[in-house]
Amino acid sequence: MSTLKSHSKDSKLPALTPGKLRLYSMRFCPFAQRTRLVLAHKKIEFETVNVDLKSKPDWFLDRNPLGLVPVLEQDDKVLYESVITCDYLDDVYPDNKLNPSDPYQQARDRILFELYGKVVTNYYGTLRSQGKDKEVLENLWKSMEPFEKAIKERGTYFGGDKPTMIDYFIWPWFERMGVVSVMMPGVDLMPAEKFPNLTAWVEVMKSLPAVKETMFDTPTHVSFYKSYAAGKPNYDLGL
Ligand SMILES: N[C@@H](CCC(=O)N[C@@H](CS)C(=O)NCC(=O)O)C(=O)O
């Protein structure tokens, strides 16, 4: 696969190679980033086909009728939904296991993950209001509190002394927390004095090889967000 450029409606399906794992993705999608983080963490070989989500090819919709990335494909196997793809990869490639082996711990992590939905919703709310809607900002902070408390109790990572699946599931939106501060100076979605332990976690996450491999810096996220908000998402930004 030679290009990371996104494939639009009229493009041909890039030739499949027997046995090769393929990820259909979009470079700035936080959900697809979850799958990319797991692939990187486990050092799994795969190829990427980026999709133009404004003009989806039929061959993409054939694979996921919901029309969403990420999608994984290998021979006759096709999977979508970020959490499902990550769990599948963790089961099929057991090296560097990410889901806790203790069923109780895994269940506790999934409860935390359920709470994360509110962080995501409130994050987009603050982005849309540029942090000017104080109520939305307060709601974001409220939804982040269980995570501040959990990381304080658990240690360096949500997995304790090493990253676990939940760290990667929630990371992509923390990577994007700085976007609003650039667009609206003076607004800080994650003030260090309010979230000292999450702030420290963000710093250690940034040094993980999987995060380094999949992350964009804040100015790039800002540029992509501006193109998206203007109704013309630039999926090929920087290529
Ligand atoms: N629940 C899905 C959400 C995936 C998702 O929303 N992906 C976005 C890109 S970030 C997408 O494909 N959007 C295309 C569309 O809405 O048409 C998952 O976890 O995989």
| pLDDT tens digits, one per residue of 58-115 | 999 999 999 999 999 999 999 999 999 999 999 999 999 999 999 999 999 999 999 9
pLDDT band at 130 (very low <50, low <70, confident <90, very high): confident
Question: Taking residues 139-145, what's their average pLDDT?
Answer: 98
DSSP string, the chain: ----SPB-TTPPPPPP-TT--EEEE-TT-HHHHHHHHHHHHTT---EEEEB-TTS--HHHHHH-TT--S-EEEETTEEEESHHHHHHHHHHHS-TT--S-SSHHHHHHHHHHHHHHHHHHHHHHHHHHTTT--HHHHHHHHHHHHHHHHHHHHH-SBTTBSS--HHHHHHHHHHHTTTHHHHHSTT--SS-TTT-HHHHHHHHHHHTSHHHHHH---HHHHHHHHHHHHTT---TTTT-
With a cut of 90, say whether residue 1 has pLDDT above it: no
Q: How far is the CA of 69 from the centre of ligand 1 (A)?
A: 5
Ligand 1, residues 33, 34, 69: which to mutate, most atoms within 8 A of Cβ? 69
Q: What residues are in contact with ligand 1 under a 6 Å CB criterion? A: 26, 29, 31, 53, 67-70, 81-82
Domains of the chain, earliest start first:
1-97+230-239 (3.40.30.10), 103-207 (1.20.1050.10)
| The pLDDT value given to residue 2 | 62
Tell me the per-residue pLDDT of 11-20, one tens digit each, with 9 for 90 and over. 999 999 999 9
**What's the mean per-residue pLDDT of the chain?**
97
Question: What positions carry a catalytic annotation?
Answer: 29
Residue-level pLDDT at 106: 96
